[in-house]
């Protein structure tokens, strides 16, 4: 018969950082390392524009931007105006580019907080210009992504953007759609995006207009097309080390470190007999007398419910343990039968290192048929962010 571990004494618990129910450890030294690695891969005169949208991919936009500013980064990209305002109010200096749509009723904030707006197309440029005050902008060109930007073939419409008297163009850019693919047809498509962009840049400049700083590469663009003639590159997920990196065995290879680890605590341990069902739907059944631990994190904190169905694991005391049953809103259960002396208060690692074992954001994303970007940005506001060096 399995014995249930004795509860810890409160004095012992007080020696640990048990103030957190669930928390993400953000390693700022790893962030600095990743910036240096990406810079090393790029041409020396190519600057980093750090993408810190969506709360810096779940890492905390203000602390991340503050760290980046302290190591010399002075360009940032966010999705919308409120994200830019939050950075300005936190004292972040330099250029802050709004990548998405800004409503005309927010144009005053662009000026008030010295934010740079993306021009989505020629019609949007006219709307911005009609505001009647000088607004800094980057012009977005659609070279094949099919999302935002004036189509690269619409040369006259694009030139009309640069003629708007109240728009101060400080940059021109585009976005790749398949820079991570090694398929021959996708590589050809990306190269055509590159060629289309530079042909257009030549036309714009030949007409006497200043394109400002040019930028094309996001994270995978930096990894797979590092030597483009650009003034800036826009790493997002690569900054946070949650990306498959290039393994090319030469001096241009890059080694990125994960910035975020996600942890929670065991809040209850119980012994159950063989044949017991665990969780909603009774989908997990014990095949032997077992020890089940309940953990203080759930899908409201961003843990994908499908993780159980896809055979997901967590780490406890340096060992992989199976998720036991459907993940609940605020808790999840794990089967710790084979782990010795699991007790209330023990740390459970969902992303990160524990002893010799490691679970990466990429592993969880692949298991759940998604990408690390979605998984990390879904980590909820109830999860405390703890910044460490």
Known catalytic residues are 53, 280
3-state SS, residue 13: helix
Within 10 angstroms of residue 306's Cβ, the number of other Cβ atoms is 15
Are the beta carbons of 170 and 115 closer than 8 angstroms?
A: no
d(CA 344, CA 365): 28
Q: Which long-range contacts (CB under 8 A, 24 or more apart) does 141-146 make?
A: 141/172, 141/173, 141/174, 141/197, 141/200, 142/174, 143/174, 143/175, 143/192, 143/193, 143/194, 143/196, 143/197, 144/177, 144/189, 144/192, 144/193, 144/196, 145/174, 145/175, 145/176, 145/177, 145/193, 146/177
Are the beta carbons of 296 and 384 closer than 8 angstroms?
A: no
Which DSSP category does 386 fall into?
A: E
Q: Which residues are annotated as a binding site for substrate?
A: 147, 329
Q: How far is CA 122 from CA 80, 95, 154, 162, in A?
A: 19, 23, 10, 9
Are the beta carbons of 155 and 203 closer than 8 angstroms?
A: yes
Which residues are CB-contacts of 313 (< 8 A; sequence separation ≥ 6)? 320, 321, 322, 323, 359
d(CA 104, CA 317): 54
Beta-sheet pairing, 260-272 with 22-27:
antiparallel
Are the beta carbons of 233 and 215 closer than 8 angstroms?
A: yes
């Amino acid at each position: 018969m399995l014995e249930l571990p004795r509860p810890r004494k409160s004095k012992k618990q007080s020696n640990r950082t048990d103030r957190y129910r669930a928390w993400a450890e953000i390693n700022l030294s790893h962030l600095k390392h990743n910036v240096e690695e990406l810079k090393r891969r790029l041409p020396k005169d190519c600057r980093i524009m750090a993408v810190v949208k969506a709360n810096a991919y779940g890492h905390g936009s203000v602390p991340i931007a503050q760290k980046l500013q302290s190591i010399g980064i002075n360009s940032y990209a966010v999705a919308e105006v409120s994200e830019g305002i939050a950075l300005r109010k936190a004292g972040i200096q330099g250029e802050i580019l709004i990548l998405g749509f800004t409503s005309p009723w927010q144009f005053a904030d662009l000026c008030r907080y010295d934010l740079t707006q993306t021009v989505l197309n020629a019609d949007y440029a006219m709307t911005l210009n009609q505001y009647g005050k000088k607004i800094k902008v980057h012009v977005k060109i659609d070279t094949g992504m099919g999302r935002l930007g004036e189509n690269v073939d619409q040369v006259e419409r694009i030139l009309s953007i640069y003629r708007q008297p109240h728009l101060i163009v400080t940059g021109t850019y585009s976005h790749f759609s398949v820079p991570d693919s090694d398929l021959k047809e996708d590589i050809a498509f990306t190269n055509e995006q590159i060629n289309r962009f530079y042909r257009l840049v030549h036309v714009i400049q030949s007409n006497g207009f200043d394109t400002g700083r040019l930028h094309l590469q996001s994270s995978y663009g930096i990894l797979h097309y590092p030597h483009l003639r650009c003034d800036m590159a826009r790493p997002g997920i690569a900054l946070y080390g949650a990306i498959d990196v290039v393994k090319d065995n030469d001096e241009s290879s890059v080694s990125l470190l994960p910035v975020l680890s996600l942890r929670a605590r065991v809040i209850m341990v119980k012994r159950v007999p063989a044949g017991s069902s665990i969780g909603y739907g009774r989908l997990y059944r014990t095949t032997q007398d077992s020890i089940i631990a309940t953990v203080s994190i759930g899908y409201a904190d961003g843990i994908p419910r499908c993780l159980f169905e896809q055979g997901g694991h967590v780490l406890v005391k340096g060992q992989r343990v199976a998720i036991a049953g459907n993940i609940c809103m605020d808790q999840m259960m794990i089967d710790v039968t084979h782990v010795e002396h699991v007790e209330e208060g023990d740390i459970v690692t969902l992303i990160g290192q524990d002893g010799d074992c490691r679970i990466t954001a990429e592993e969880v994303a692949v298991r759940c048929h998604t990408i690390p970007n979605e998984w990390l940005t879904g980590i909820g506001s109830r999860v405390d962010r703890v910044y460490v060096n």
